[in-house]
Amino acid sequence: MLRASCCAAVVLRANRAWLGTRAARALVLRCALLQLPASLSGPSDALATGPSRAEAVAGAASASPAPGGSSTGPAQESDSGASRLVLRRARLDNGLRIVLHRDTSLPTVAIGIAYGVGTRHEGDGEQGLARWLQHAMFNGSRNVAPGGHARLIREQGGSHAAWTSAEHTVFVELLPAHALALGLWLEADRMKSLELSAAELAWQGRLLELELEREARQQGAQGKRELAALVFADVARQAAPSRGGAAAVLPSRGPEQLLAALQAFRQRYYAPNNAVLTVAGHFEPLEALNLIQVHFAGAQPVELPPSPELQLPEQTQARRTTREARAGQAPALWQGWSIPGAREPEHDALELASVILGSGVGSRLHQLLVAEQGLATAVSTWTEGARGRDLFGVAVQLREGGDPEQASRLVLAQVAALARFGPSAAELQRAQRMLETRAWLELDGNLARARALCEAELFAHDARLLEPSLGRYRRVSREEVQRVLARYLRPARRSDVLLRARKR
């Protein structure tokens, strides 16, 4: 049985001429999303200065409980004065969590489904199965021929994507609004009745090998993988969560053994009570809920195994790996530290430190290594956004003949200076604005929202907790940035991957 609230009617009284304007349509849509009455007689100062629809994120319509919880009743306004991206949340009896966001600004609809399984859930001898199964999900199902899922989406003019991380596997598709029923049927059919065959797995294996070879040729991607393996050397299975070694399955298993392993892995994790389904775009919520009930109610839940815990001993000595650049490669440095996972209290301050150190031409490392000393051609910093334990990374692309050892010393000096003296007010404000902008871009469009809502509901058990950076990053003080840098980016906790210039 489906639990979801119905929309309240929106009552509008307005001057007909003004209702035809873009500003009026935007306010009408916002009122409809927020389920508020609107009384409009013409443009006003409040409308001109109020928050735009693009300034809203993740509020709530009807609330369904986190796993094992009970319904919290009708929608509640957030304490924040900002308008919210209104959601409907529901749950099927089989445990499938549903999040709907209606936006009629474009005639498209995006469907996302996230399963709570990734490389972290692979047991001994199962390395690579999570990514293999992501590819195998296109092999066909009871009512769809091999390759038919992607073909049917393309025939509608749509697109699709899939990826695997340490914690989850996500499938998303963008379709014209009239094809919502097709998209839901396709996802439900492979959830309930995926068909795996040795022949199709061999074909998917060749595609996967080509994908991994292409990644291996990218110097930056390879350096990041090596860095992750070094930082998380004590937990090798989780070292490279988004790239995880699918090719390792091929040499050690024959086709039948691989088929049996994938089937067992799928039966453990690819179930409705381990999944979140989102729909974002131009659709009628009640129609979508009815379609979801019809197509997904027959999927059977399973008893999920306990989630593996990441036990990472404290690193007390710096780690290093060095290799020689291939012909045509420039020397480079990748430097990294293990840090708390995304959405943990200290992570926001570490993200701000990452931007201050190495994001954009105004960052400290770019100014020092590229603009002032001319040692490097490019500098970047990043955090992976992983749960549990995350990675803080620095990448320096050096000029021909550059010394990665020197670059490492300069990076460490800048980290130490930022930890000791803290960022300036201008640096902190710049970082906050950059992260806020990134957060909005991650919600730009139906496909992006379907993905973001999937992940928020899966990890936080409530998509309404998806918020913009505004507020979260602005609450971080200069002293907090100093404190987390001093605690986590110590020299003894670092790992270095050095790519030295090729000897002549």
In this structure, the answer to whether residues 104 and 162 fall within a common structural domain is yes
User: In angstroms, what CA-CA distances link 198 with 139, 145, 257?
Assistant: 10, 15, 9
Q: Report residue 486 as tokens.
A: 């001093």
pLDDT of 398 higher than 90:
yes
Q: Report residue 238 as tokens.
A: 């989780």
Which is more confident, 498 or 216? Answer: 498
pLDDT of 498 higher than 60:
yes
Q: Report residue 393: phi and psi, to 5°.
A: -125, 150
In this structure, the answer to whether residues 285 and 333 fall within a common structural domain is no
Within a domain: residue 18? no
In this structure, the answer to whether residues 103 and 185 fall within a common structural domain is yes
Q: What average pLDDT is seen over the chain?
A: 80
d(C-alpha 285, C-alpha 275), whole Å: 20
Q: Could you write out the DSSP letters of every residue in 145-213?
A: -TTHHHHHHHHTT-EEEEEE-SS-EEEEEEEEGGGHHHHHHHHHHHHHHB---HHHHHHHHHHHHHHHH
Residue 229, CA atoms < 13 Å, CB-side half-sphere: 12
In this structure, the answer to whether residues 284 and 368 fall within a common structural domain is no
Which pLDDT score is estimated for 74? 31
Number of C-beta neighbours around residue 275 at 10 A:
29
Give 78-95 pLDDT, tens digit per residue: 333 344 678 999 999 999
Residue at 448: amino acid letter:
A
Within a domain: residue 245? yes
In this structure, the answer to whether residues 177 and 265 fall within a common structural domain is yes
The per-type count for the chain, helices as H runs and strands as E runs, is 18, 13
d(C-alpha 237, C-alpha 127), whole Å: 7
In this structure, the answer to whether residues 365 and 483 fall within a common structural domain is yes
Give me the CATH number covering residue 454: 3.30.830.10
164 contacts 236 by C-beta, under 8 angstroms: no
pLDDT of 65 higher than 50:
no
390 contacts 403 by C-beta, under 8 angstroms: no
* Rounded to 5°, angle at Cα 445 from 439 and 451: 70
In this structure, the answer to whether residues 259 and 369 fall within a common structural domain is no
In this structure, the answer to whether residues 348 and 281 fall within a common structural domain is no
pLDDT (mean) for 304-310: 82
Give 453-471 pLDDT, tens digit per residue: 999 999 888 888 886 545 7
Residue 494's domain comprises: 329-500
pLDDT of 118 higher than 70:
yes
Q: Is 9 helix (H, G, I), strand (E, B) or coil?
A: coil
Q: Which pLDDT band holds residue 501 (cuts at 50, 70, 90)?
A: confident
Give 125-162 pLDDT, tens digit per residue: 888 889 888 988 988 899 999 889 999 999 999 999 99
pLDDT (mean) for 290-297: 97
Last residue of a domain, one of 271, 296, 321: 296
Can you tell me which residue has the tokens 């009807």?
A: 62
Q: Which residues, in sequence order, are bridge partners of residue 357?
A: none
Give 196-247 pLDDT, tens digit per residue: 887 777 777 777 777 777 766 666 778 888 999 899 887 654 444 443 443 4
In this structure, the answer to whether residues 344 and 227 fall within a common structural domain is no
188 contacts 137 by C-beta, under 8 angstroms: no
289 contacts 368 by C-beta, under 8 angstroms: no
Residue 276, CA atoms < 13 Å, CB-side half-sphere: 28
Within a domain: residue 175? yes
User: Which region among 62-66, 246-250, 475-479, 481-485 has the lowest average model confidence (pLDDT)?
Assistant: 62-66
Within a domain: residue 306? no
Of 72, 108, 104, 76, residue with least CA distance to 90: 72
In this structure, the answer to whether residues 414 and 270 fall within a common structural domain is no
In this structure, the answer to whether residues 373 and 471 fall within a common structural domain is yes
Within a domain: residue 430? yes
Can you tell me which residue has the tokens 């049985």?
A: 1
Number of C-beta neighbours around residue 313 at 10 A:
7
Q: Tell me the Ramachandran region of residue 385: left when phi exceeds 0, alpha when psi lies from -120 to 50, beta otherwise.
A: left
> Domain total for the chain?
2
In this structure, the answer to whether residues 171 and 117 fall within a common structural domain is yes
Which pLDDT score is estimated for 136? 86
359 contacts 381 by C-beta, under 8 angstroms: yes
Residues above pLDDT 90, as percent of the chain: 52
pLDDT of 13 higher than 50:
no
